[in-house]
Amino acid sequence: MKIILTILGIISLILGIVGIFVPLLPTTPFLLLSAAIFFRTSPRLYEWLLNQKYLGTYIRKFRENKAIPLHAKIISVTMIWLTLGYCTIFVAPYLWLKPLFIILAITISAHILSYKTLK
């Protein structure tokens, strides 16, 4: 199980890194997931991740302040609504999927906005 979780942590880390360059893919949630997985499975990978010059900053700021920067909130919520709105209007082949996408967007937005804003 430890190996499977470590592999999931590495996949999450890769997605987080890709998210730096791809606007539709969030960075911080994937990095936080990787940190949480590595914390439980590999102290060495966890310390390595926290000590990274750029990636570790995301995780340390969130852990210390339990807050998200305003620009990250704006970008995240905007991208969620653009992506799920597009899926709702143009992609969802079934009528029952449309309200599901909207509920998902509302829920994720509420979760992101529930955190304090880092100044």
Map out the domains of the chain as residue ranges.
Answer: 2-65, 70-118
Q: pLDDT tens digit string along 31-75?
A: 889 999 999 999 999 999 999 988 888 788 888 898 888 888 888
Answer yes or no: is pLDDT of 83 > 70: yes
Answer yes or no: is pLDDT of 24 > 80: no
* The CA-based dihedral angle spanning residues 55, 61, 62, 66, taken in that order and rounded to the nearest 10 degrees: 180
Provide mean pLDDT across the span 84-91.
Answer: 92
Whether the pTM exceeds 0.75: the reply is: no
CB proximity list for 70: less than 8 A, separation 6 or greater: 117, 118, 119
Share the mean pLDDT of the chain: 89
Predicted pLDDT at 36: 92
Helix, strand, coil in percent for the chain, rounding step 5: 80, 5, 15
Answer yes or no: is pLDDT of 79 > 70: yes
